[in-house]
A and B are shown apart, each in its own frame.
Chain A
Amino acid sequence: MEKQVIYKVAKEFTPTPGVRSPKEGNFSGEEFLSKHLYPKMVQAIEEKFTLVIDLDGTAGYATSFLEAAFGGLIRGCEADGLKAIDLNVAKKHLKLISHDDPYLEEEIEEYMQEAAVPA
């Protein structure tokens, strides 16, 4: 079994995730992507471990935050120097935990799938 590294959003980022982009407010999805999710994901792929994102313990996640973070992970962002990550590779190294909102995993997967489809 692959090694697992757990990242707890409420503890390591914020208990109150916010908007889509940093210019709209604090603790945005894009900030979470560029400073936390993306670097950890790249590390997980390179070092061949599973990144476990624990989504519990926050005040909840808005669609805009989730789409920017997890959709952005697959899409990448040239302006921020983030290369797109293949959906299957990301899914292989990413595991989500969400007991507070059991349908969150399904929702996030949907954003990742949508981001993988070229516009």
Chain B
Amino acid sequence: MIRKIIIAGASIFLLLVIILGFIWHSKYFKTERDINVVDLATFGLTLFLAWYVPNILEKKATGTRFEKEMLIRHIERLRDSFGVIQNIVNQATLPLMMTPEQGLQINSVLADLSRSLTQFNKLIEVCGYKELEADKELLVRKRIGYKQKVTGGQFQQQNFGYNSVQAASIATTYSEIEMTCSLIIIKINRY
């Protein structure tokens, strides 16, 4: 089988050489016997670009785009989780009260957020986005601040509901977190 392929390949190559030979000596084509240095350089550059663009540049661009999208999705999920907590806070602001299930859900989502932030830290390390370290640290501090406001005081006590002052303070921290997430997304996009 391999022998047949080699014979077929050699036959095609021979045929091409014969055709090129005819073209070379044909009266319809004019051929130069001198080599122009500029043309040679252009030819070399064209060959290099034909190899470099699809093999190196495009692969690099695709890889970077994938990493960016992954990091952005991660931050969006984080922002959504904060949104889940904020929704519960809104539903448990006096005169409305928090149910025990809502209290447990808040604790659970806050623990999920902690894990997500650790994962984000690992991802930026692997992807080489060291410049995002400070932003991640800011988000970590804001999560702790948010947690203290949401789960502090009489949280989970029977008939607990946030008063208007607490609710306003929590909403402010939440909007700061949203802003931080959006700024991180913009920063990733600009890389």
Kindly list chain A residues whose C-beta atoms are within 8 Å of the C-beta of B108.
59-60
Q: Are B157 and A19 in contact (CB under 8 A)?
A: yes
- Is A86 located at the chain interface by the 8 A CB criterion? no
- Given that A63-B148, A101-B111, A103-B140 are known contacts, is A19 also in contact with B118, CB under 8 Å in the complex? no
Give the residues from 11 to 30 in chain A that come closer than 8 angstroms, CB to CB, to chain B: 16, 18-20, 24-25
- Picked from B106, B118, B144, the residue with its CB within 8 Å of the CB of A107 is B144
Selected contact of B151 from candidates A64, A101, A106, CB within 8 Å: A64
The B contact surface, by secondary structure, is helix
| Cross-chain contact A60 with B110 (CB below 8 angstroms) | yes
How many of B's residues come within 8 Å of A, CB to CB? 25
A75-B144 Cα distance, complex, nearest whole Å? 22
Contacts of A67 in B (CB 8 A): 152
A102 at interface, CB cutoff 8 A: yes
Q: Does B64 contact A (CB under 8 A)?
A: no
A102 to chain B, nearest CB (A): 4
Interface residues of B (CB under 8 A from A): 103-104, 106-108, 110-111, 114-115, 117-118, 140, 143-144, 147-148, 150-158
- Residue numbers of A with Cβ under 8 A of B are 16, 18-20, 24-25, 59-64, 67, 100-104, 106-107, 110
> Can you list 27 contacts pairing A with B, beta carbon distance less than 8 Å?
A16-B104, A18-B156, A19-B156, A20-B154, A25-B156, A25-B157, A25-B158, A59-B104, A60-B107, A60-B108, A61-B107, A62-B103, A62-B152, A62-B155, A63-B155, A64-B155, A67-B152, A100-B114, A100-B115, A102-B114, A102-B115, A102-B117, A103-B118, A103-B140, A103-B143, A103-B144, A110-B144
